[in-house]
Structure formats: structure tokens, C-alpha cells
Amino acid sequence: MYLNPSATSWTAPVTDPDGDPRTVHRALPGFAPTPLIEIPELATELGVGRLLVKDEHIRAGLPSFKILGAAWAVFRGLGGTTGTFEDLKIDPDTTLVSATAGNHGRAVAYLAKLLGIKAHIFIPAGTAPGRIEAIRSEGALVDVVDGDYRVAVAQATARADQDPKALHAADVGNSMTPVWATQGYRTIMHEIDDQLAGVEPDLVVVPVGAGSFASTVVSHYRSDGPRPAILTVEPDSAACLLKSLQAGEPVTVPGPHPSVMAGLNAGDVDGHAWPVLKHGVDSAITVTDEDAHEAMRTLAAANVVAGECGAASLAGARNFLATQKLRPDAVVVLISTEGVHDQAAYDAVISR
Ligand SMILES: Cc1ncc(COP(=O)(O)O)c(C=O)c1O
């Protein structure tokens, strides 16, 4: 575990987007705020006052929160600032290109379908077949690369570089699209604020792959509003953020990253996210596959559907609170970032 006692008092640089991602989000088919679900039994188990789960198992019809980042990144990448996709003139020969561990690529493929353009997605070998098929089902060309996520990123970059009609809709790397994606994720934080109606959380728990989403959470809570502690959670086999925080500089965790938490299987912390995470994360912890599966079962018993990455938040909170004490009336928010990609696989985990 990593602890940074000065993180809560750090203030993040202001990163207001040009335009409001929520305008684009609200215009997506089936868009609605996701629920913040209180689970009193879990608060009792963890020895805290209130436990709430921000449930992203369906977001605008897709099984993860990633559409929020992808939609704003693609909108900005296609030249939009205000309005919605309807206001853009889009070249029908455009191809959206991206690497993915699963969810971002699905969101990009879905957007391409929505906009009547093409998508070409690169995904690491070993990704669960259900996740690959889900991307193909959106009409995208999917290349399963012989390597881990870093290899997929390299191939997507090369593909986008040689095509003037391509928009590289990356959610990691040095371009602007990862920055726009983190701005898009901010919609979750605005919703949590509204749903808490003035109640200030003491601890917010967030699953981490490359750390972009966590950087949104840190930026939001290290400004002029509430300043909860922020706990990041990673698979024990892909703990690039934990290792980087411990070293005080970015550390690569070489693949393969075999965990069941596919969206969290990143070997590098994103370069845009790192400076924010370095200063603003209070605690970082890892979980095993079995921890994540156990958390999926617990959440299912409380009628909350959570896939492996989503349930990682509860698994991390359990591991953290096994040794760290919060006030008995503490308010804890777990962000559950995904739902079900493969119903049979989910049912098999839940029935164990
Ligand atoms: C479901 C889910 N949760 C969390 C994450 C982690 O996001 P980040 O890579 O920005 O840390 C991902 C990334 O793809 C994801 O798919």
C-alpha cells in the first residue's frame, strides 16, 4: 500500500474544457445520469457511516463509463467545441482509430456507428472473446495484436499516422484526445455532487488502468469543493500507478498483464495523468482476481451489477479498511466503472 498524507491539501491546476461535455453527453441516445446507490449492509461490514456506489454498469446504453470520455474526445477531435455531433460536418471517409483494453474501443466503435463513419480498433491478444466480439458487433474492424496493451497502442498510432482521414481517438498518450477524454469523465463527478446534495464524502475509491479517469477524480476533488481522501485500486499484476507512486517517478510494469480486470491491465501511467496523481492521490492499493470476483458477488447480492473493473473499487476498499481506520460516520463513495460484457461469464462468477 502507498500513503501520501499531504495529498488532500494539494490543489490541482484548473483544466476547464472549451465547451461543456455534458451537452454532447445529453444528446447521446439513451443518455441518463447513472444512480448513486446506498448499501447500508456494506457500510456496516466496512465499519463506516455510509457506503454509496456510483453505478456505471450502463452508461448511454454501453456497459461502462468510457463513452463519456470517448464522446467528448471524438467531438473535439472532429472540430467541435459547442453544440452536439449534429452540428458537425463530418467527412464520411473518416476512420476513428484507437487501442483499447476493451471498453474505450467499444465506445469509439459505437460512436463511429452513430456518426456513420468507420472504426479500426487494436486490442491485446488474450482479451476475453466477449469483449472483442462486443467491439466487432458495433461494426468496427478489430485487430487482435500479438502483444500487450502497449503493443496495441503502438499499432494504433502507426495506423492513424499513415491515414490522413483517420482521427486517432486515443485515451492515453501525448495527443489532446486523452486530455479531452478526462474532461468528458468529469460528468460523473458532477452527477455525484448533485446526488450527494451537499454531503461531503470522506473517501472516494477509483479503479485505475493508465490513470486518466483517476486524474479526473483527483482534479475534481483537489479544487475549491470537498476534499475527500482518494484511494486508487489496481490489479496486483498491473500495478503501474502504485509502483510509480512508491518510486516517485513513472515505472513501467512489463506485460503480459493477465488479470480478469481487463480495463485495468495497463503497464504505464498516462503522461498527462501522472503529475496530478503524483500529488493528489492519498492511497493506492492492489487487489487480486479473486478479490474482484468476491466483490462482484457481494455487489450482486445487494442488487448492484458490477463487472470485474467496477467491483475492484469494493475489493480495494475492503483491503484498505482492513488496516486503515476511518471515522465511524465516514461517507465512502465507490466508483463502479463497468457492467457485464459476457453474461455467461458474469453468471458463472456470481453463482460460485
Ligand atoms: C471499466 C474500466 N474501469 C476503469 C478503467 C481505468 O481507466 P484509466 O485507464 O483511465 O485508469 C478502465 C479503462 O479502460 C475501464 O475500462
pLDDT tens for each residue of 53-112: 999 999 999 999 999 999 999 999 999 999 999 999 999 999 999 999 889 999 999 999
Please check whether residue 96 is in contact with residue 167, taking contact to mean a CB–CB distance below 8 angstroms: yes
C-alpha cell at 109: 466503435
Please give the Cα distance from 82 to 100 (Å, whole number). 27
Give the Cα separation of 258 and 148 in Å (integer).
9
d(CA 61, CA 144): 25
**pLDDT in the model for residue 20:** 94
The per-residue DSSP string of 13-24 comes to PP---SS-HHHH
Q: Whose CA is nearest to atom 16 of ligand 1?
A: 263
The arrangement of strands across the sheet holding 141-145 comes to 141-145, 118-124, 95-99, 166-168
Domain 2-64+178-350 matches domain 66-174 at the CATH topology level = yes
* Atom in ligand 1 nearest the alpha carbon of residue 185: 10
From atom 15 of ligand 1, which residue's Cα is the shortest distance away? 263
Cα angle 265, 144, 164 (rounded to 5 degrees) comes to 100
Residues having CB within 6 Å of any atom of ligand 1: 64, 66, 101, 103-104, 207-214, 263-264, 266, 309, 337-338
Task: Specify the CATH class of 2-64+178-350 in words.
Answer: alpha beta
| pLDDT-wise least confident of 1-5, 126-130, 290-294 | 126-130
Domain residue limits, the chain: 2-64+178-350, 66-174
Stretch 6-11: mean pLDDT: 97
DSSP sequence for 90-108: --TT-EEEEE-SSHHHHHH
Under the banding of pLDDT at 50, 70 and 90, the label for residue 128 is confident
pLDDT, tens digit, for every residue of 208-261? Answer: 999 999 999 999 999 999 999 999 999 999 999 999 999 999 999 998 888 999
Residue to substitute in 337, 341, 342 for testing ligand 1 pocket (most ligand atoms within 8 angstroms of CB): 337
DSSP string, 140-202: -EEEEESS-HHHHHHHHHHHHHT-TTEEE--SSSSSSHHHHHHHHHHHHHHHHHHHHTTPPPS
Fold of domain 66-174: Rossmann fold (3.40.50)
> What's the 315 CA to ligand 1 centre distance in angstroms?
16
